Structure 1
Amino acid sequence: MRPLEATYGDLAPPYRRSSSNPYEDDPKDASTRYLPLYKAVDGGDLEATNKFLDQHPDALCSSLSTDGDTALHIAVLAGHVDIVEELVGRMSALELAVKQKYGSTALNFAAIGGVTEIAELLVEKNRKLLEIPNDHEQIPLVVAALYGHRDLVQYLYLKTPIEELDPTSKNHGAILLTACIMDEFYDIALDLVQHYPLLAIAEDTDKDTALHILAQKPSAFPSGSQLTFWQRWTYKCIHLDPQKASLIASGDIEMPHEGPPHRRSFTKRVLHRISEAFWKGLKLCVPGFTSIYELKLTHLQARELLTCICREVPNLEDEIKLEAVLRKALFEAVKQGIVEFVTEIMKHYPEVVWFYDDKDRNIFFVATAERQEKIFSLIYKMGAKKNSLATHWDKDFNNMLHQAAFLAPSSRLDRVSGAALQMQRELQWFKWRVLCNPSIRR
């Protein structure tokens, strides 16, 4: 790929200077001269903008502020689609690549604002904008993800050359992956990992991995979702094919992927029609059906993403780093009470039951301290290992019974209203630990 400077020539600096502009050596004077244009663009006055540009065509790509913002930057950030369309029509493809003082193109500003229609106007005229980073080395797709703009992220993800996200050459993919997980764009994150499995173990600029970020998202899994009786019933009635977790297939509730009609038997076509009618009826008759469907779809996508990541983690050649990645994510998931996360990790790496945190506590010890009973219940599946795990002592010479006697974290206590009920809950934990550990009773 050619360097940006070679591709865009003299448009790579913060803003283009014209030799015919008497204010080119003094941006402050230029910003004063072009103040009417700044006001017109920022205020959304298309007529005034056109009139000024007709009279002063040199202002089109000139700096209108001390930060080097052009009229296009200002219009994009203000979200005025009609003015952006007019400016894009007047500018060449290369002129769209003008950067302001801090290295941002108009598309980078569009990624901040989140208006997909504006991004479309810019990309249609110059697709190279997708590859130009700002001064923080963030391409527009990454910027949009960091700002949490779902529709824009999906649009830019489908338009950005996939090579830009290759973890072997750049860090864009790792940042995008962790940002998508934080924003709960699990379908995009899953598609990204499927394209580049190495992203599963790549670190972003904060030295975080996708596995650790996912461990902080209890809402991405069934154990972290609080549902009423009818919501649980609806949730169980919805059956999703794993293919629905993909980016392309995740948006259609009523039309499950069945293949071309001519390849299906008459019986299958009839059943398909009945299925369509059933889903439509549920949408009309069951309150909040769509939200429950989307919740289950989210859980499916997160689970598929976790499985993909777990399959890739063993490719870490550095065993010390491998253990560090697993330990950090595992103990975070235990604190969050994500039982599905812990069981998936244990399925791929059974040895994690012998991992200890900085206080020399295993996962069941931490589960007791955090009052995560679903995690602690996994100890009953440990067979003979249960006795060793349950009688472990930490570096402060406390065992699990001591930990059960300590006051629970306020985040867990607050889930039970009233001091009497909180005390009852704490006593249950203490009795539970005594009953499950005969060696402590002796």
Structure 2
Amino acid sequence: MSEDLFKEFIYLEDYPVSYVWNWLANIYDRPKSEGVTFGIEFIKDAPDIDTHDIETESSPRIRETQLKKELYKAAAEGWWRKAKSILENNKFAATEAITANGNTILHVGVEMGHNYFVEKLLEFLEDVKDIEMKNDKGQTALHIAAIVGNTHAAQLLVQKSSQLLEYKDNNNVLPMHLASANTNLDTYAYLFESRTPPCDSHFESYMTFHYVCQKTVVRCSLLFHPDRCVDNILRVVKICNNTGCNLLGKNSVILLVLIATLYPIYQLICLLILLLHLSFSMLYLLLWKVLAITVPPIKNIEKKRKEYKKAKNILSLICKMKGPSDVGYSDSFFEAVRQDRYEVVDEILMNSPDTINLKDADGYNIIQLSIMNRAEKVYNLIYHIIERTKSRGEMTDSSSNNLAHLAGRLAPSFVLSRTTGAALQLQRELLWFKEVERLMLPLKLMEKNIYNETPVIVFAREHHDLLKQGEIWMKTTAESSSITAALIVTVAFAAAITVPGGSNQESGIPVFGKEIPFIVFAVSNASSLFTGVTALLLFLSTILTASSSEKDFQVILPRRLIFGLVMLFLSAITMMVAFGAIFFLVFCDRRPWMLAPIAVFACWPILVIVAIKLPLLANLIQSTFFPLFGEKSYLKSCNINKKNTIFI
């Protein structure tokens, strides 16, 4: 190891193990296995860049496109030595836009969080004007650092050029305010402390800080890093107190101290959960391997999983062959959005970022299509792009329908058919409409299309028939379940007033009153009666509802049906337990071996009612209590990460 290399290695002591490993492997050309996990980072194979091939391309435009592609890949993965090899032969590329929205290599490096890469690049860039380059939105690299919360990169940039603190983007927004808007308290505190605002901007700084503190506490982000958040708040408080502003109330300070006290307990609980999770995961993998060999249905699932992997590899290969150009992607891209195939959309966007700006034959882009076709997986995949797209409120079609109008339309029939039951279909439509409403400004929700209709009017008109079908479905389901509940209540009540074995003529106490099976019978029968009556009342409240509004189908009616079905299950189970206990007491003459056949036969009615009603109950619980939108587990394997601003 050379002396220069050793100095760089010592400098990397604060960086993740995965970064140092790849850095050394890149130097010594050690082979890397794709998919090796170090800590929490995933090491991807970064192929070597042959600058000779770039220099010998025949067409200047092809050479420039290939150069930008390789430079972007090096910046996105933090490979400084590879980027340096390109920049030494093409110095102009350091200040050229390498993405569709005008981001330079410095923007990308800051955005991806590769701070070692950013530091070396800043040393390479001698002219301060190169560091102050802006993208199409007028944002410098410091704006990007403020958006993604990269405090270390912000420190490096400010040390190189303090003027970056005062540069505003096309919307007249400072980096400090962008950090505030994205609730990046650490970055905001540093920028606030580094910038020395004029006296007339103290009030503006106070309002911005008050907003970021309130937003942070509301989102409970302090729960995860209380010490850092408290320190950052107090740093800004100390500066603002010089102007006589009391920024943080006593209640907020008490809340922060309480959270900081409970944080060690929270960490211990997380550690315990992690250990249990690892144990069960290892057991699950071992069991799955055995079942995949011995059980035919599991073997078929394993086969499909392997086919899925092969298809994904083929898709990745095709996208890499086509390159970054958006030509030829449109048909497959829009069909993938309509079918909610988020894997295809993710792969295409990763290899061709410009595809996000494509529109289909009717003039709809990916955001509009995902809403119209209720493609929740694609919607969740690009949600961070939608959230940062300020023009989302201005998106309209040829009929002046904004996003809320499109959400108010009835979903296509092939989408509705994925959900069983008109009531659940209407509930899903309501969830979509409320989600899009949340994205829009209040004034946009009152806008009218060329037919003089607001989004609410469009939703009511399009879903009028589905509302009627939902009422009929809900009442029919409640009626069928109420008949079962009524029968159980009748049997349980008759068993309660007719005591098995009779009673003592003198005291009236049941003959078997002190027997354990009789006690089990009494408790189970009472439970069956009470839960059965509760289920019956819940079902009747649903049936006797004269008419329901659309919003009732979102929570109220499904919740009644859920609690009714749960009570019905409990009533049926406890009724069979009561029957088995008294049957064993009266007819089995206390022979323990008779418990086995009694238990087997008692399970049959329970299995029947569970097989009939459990799928319905599972669908109701999933659609009512589990959010349709937000961060999902399947997004973790996607290439488009939450902090990515390249596709805006």
Q: TM-score, normalised by structure 2?
A: 0.27
Greater gyration radius: 2
Higher helix proportion, which one? 2
